[in-house]
Structure 1
Amino acid sequence: MNRRSFLKKAFGSLLALVGLGGGTYYYAREIEPTLLEINNNIIASKKITSKFNNFKIIQFSDTHIGFHYSLKQFKKLIDKINAMKPDLIVFTGDLVDEPNNYNWSNDLIKLLHSLEATHGKYWIYGNHDHGGYGTNIVKDVMEQADFKLLKNSHTVIEVENEQIIFAGIDDVMLGNPDLNMALQHANPDLFTVLLAHEPDFADTAVKFPIDIQLSGHSHGGQVRLPFIGHLYTPSFAEKYVQGKYTIGNDKLALYVNSGIGTTRLPYRFLCKPEIHSYTLRAKQ
């Protein structure tokens, strides 16, 4: 969606909120964006081996720091994630809202660095990470915070000689995603998780030996109305907007994270910010 279309639809959602009443607008702007939820999911598969039983993955996405989301709020998010004692952490893109205008500091690096996971921290580019001349800035910050970039690449996670794969692609909108390259030399028999910022990429991912896709980007629509649902979503998040989807006769499970922050307009309504927790289960 181009900027003009986005703002046009966003303005329409603003009018909808105002039409519901001043109290609703205040709630959407000041209260709901702070009501963080933990979305717990169990992922069971025969490809998950016994050593990965109860392996916990935490996904957070779309923080958009700098646009009505502060480092103070981010610190609370990090404390909540660490309290969950994850085995592995993934960030699925859009760290700050406008990289070229953001006041970068070591404080952000220190907060990201303080995230703890036994088997590492991984991330992928979102469209806002590539936009605004931020590509190299964001990469440098994440590297200093001990996050490993999965850009058209994969990594093998090993527990006592048993393995699973985490792969990631470059941003679909502003990057050069290449899933063939990401899975090059990967064992197709291993349980495989794909990180892809834009959820609609799942229609491509389902053609590959991938079991799970984790995405963000949609913000869940940010504003959802009863009986209507979301009012708008950005490009490549128009088909899959929020929650879990099964694609290709249950071949691929897609989880769409509604994100943490907001963009363009600073409110959420019936679409609370969330982090996702995934617990792997070995299926007999």
Structure 2
Amino acid sequence: MNRRSFLKKTFGGILTFLGVSGGAYFYARDIEPKALNIHTENIKSSTIPKSFHNFKIVQFSDTHIGFHYDLAQFEDLVNVINKHNPDLIVFTGDLVDEPNRYNWDTKLMKLLQSLKAPYGKFWIYGNHDHGGYGTDIVKEVMDQADFQLLQNEHKIIQKDNESINLAGIDDVMLGNPDLTKTLQQANTDLFTILLAHEPDYADQAIKFPIDVQLSGHSHGGQVRLPFIGHLYTPSYAQKYVKGNYVFDSSNLSLYVNQGIGTTRVPYRFLCKPEIYVFSLKSE
């Protein structure tokens, strides 16, 4: 769907339902995009080591800084994340909306650097980070901010001589994801978390020994209407849009983050920005 069709469908649905309500327009543009939801989840598994019981992971995604989301708002987000005292932080892509046009300065890097997690900060490319948009620019900023890129690779997270796997693939739309390469030489008996920007990649992930996939990209639809749901989601976020999904053919559990910022249009309606706070539970 191109931008014109997206705008037509979005505005048409909103106007039909709300009867051209100026109050709802104000809410969708100026209130809900700033109403952060803290989504807490317990992840239980017999393969989570005992030393990782209550291990806390914070996921944030799709900030799209520069498109109706500024550094002052991002600083507030950083403070919220740090107040949760995460053991591990993961960012699942789309840092700024247009990296090749964004007015880069050191403040963004310093804010990212101020995020604290004793077991590391990790990230993957989203489609707005990658391809012709500014792959190297984003990577340089994240490197300086002490975020480790997972681009078709995995890292072993170790605590008290016990371990879990954290894996990440390249962006599906504009990169070259390779899950076989990602898990090469990985101990597949370990509890394994996969970072994949596009949630529909779960249909590939179920073929591999992965316990949890964390994704973003969908924005939860960004604009949702009662009884109708989302009006639009991008490619590779059309099957799995928001929340948690489980699969009968696999032990995989997928979590789709609604993201922080907006893109294409600066509205959120019945689809608040969110971060996930996961607590691992050893069973």
2:138 paired with 1:138: yes
In the other structure, the counterpart of 2:201 is 201
The Cα offsets for residues 10-31 of structure 1, whole Å up to 9 and x where unpaired, read as 4444544763511111100000
Aligned equivalents of 2:187 and 2:92: distance in 1?
23
Contact 1:98 1:132 in 2 (8 A): no
Question: Percent of pairs identical after alignment?
Answer: 68
For normalisation by structure 2, the TM-score amounts to 0.97
- Equivalent position of 1:214 in the other structure: 214
Change (3 A) 1:259 1:158: same
Amino acid at match of 1:66: G
Q: For residues 137-182 of structure 1, what are the alpha-carbon distances to aligned partners after superposition, in whole Å with 9 as ceiling and x for unaligned? A: 0000000000000000000000011000000000000100000010
Tell me the equivalent position of 2:157: 157
Could you say what secondary structure the match of 1:164 adopts?
Answer: strand
Q: Give the corresponding residue for 1:274.
A: 274
Aligned residue for 2:24, secondary structure, equals helix
Matched-pair contact (CA < 8 Å) for 1:206–1:248: no
Partner of 1:277: helix, strand, or coil? strand
Amino acid at match of 1:254: L
Name the counterpart of 1:233.
233
Residue range with higher mean Cα deviation, 127-136 or 28-37: 127-136
Confirm or deny: 8 A CA contact 2:10 2:223 kept in the other structure: no
State the match for 2:86 in structure 1.
Answer: 86
CA gap of 1:132–1:9, structure 2 versus 1, over 3 A, is farther
Contact residue 200 and residue 236 of structure 1 kept, 8 A: yes
Question: Structure 1 pair 134/7, CA: closer, same or farther in 2 (3 Å)?
Answer: farther
Distance 1:9 1:131, change over 3 A: farther
Cα gap change, 1:17 to 1:110, in 2 (>3 Å): farther
* CA distance 1:37–1:127, change in 2 (3 Å): same
Cα displacement string for residues 177-221 of structure 1 (whole angstroms, at most 9, x for unaligned residues): 000010000011000000000000000000000000000000000
Instruction: Give CA-to-partner distance per residue, 1:221-278, whole Å, 9 cap, x none.
Output: 0011111111110000000000000013451100000000000100100000000000
Which residue identity is paired with 1:280?
L
Q: Structure 2 unaligned runs (5+)? A: none
Task: Tell me the number of residue pairs that the alignment of Structure 1 and Structure 2 aligns.
Answer: 283
Counterpart secondary structure, 2:128 = helix
Question: Which stretch of structure 1 is more off in the superposition, 262-271 or 1-10?
Answer: 1-10
Contact 2:216 2:257 in 1 (8 A): yes
* Counterpart AA for 1:79: N
The 8 Å contact of residues 6 and 234 in structure 1, kept in 2 or not, is answered as no
SS in 2 for 1:51: helix
Quick one: distance in 1 between partners of 2:5 and 2:173? 16
What's the counterpart of residue 57 of structure 2? 57
What secondary structure sits across from 1:57 in the alignment? strand
State the Cα distance separating 1:133 from its structure 2 match. Answer: 2.9
Deviation at 1:112, TM superposition (A): 0.2
TM-score (norm 1): 0.96
- Distance in 1 between the 2:16 and 2:186 partners? 48
Q: RMSD value over aligned CA atoms?
A: 1.4
Q: Are the equivalent residues in 2 in contact too, given 1:50–1:282 (CA < 8 A)?
A: yes
Unaligned runs of 5+ in 1: none
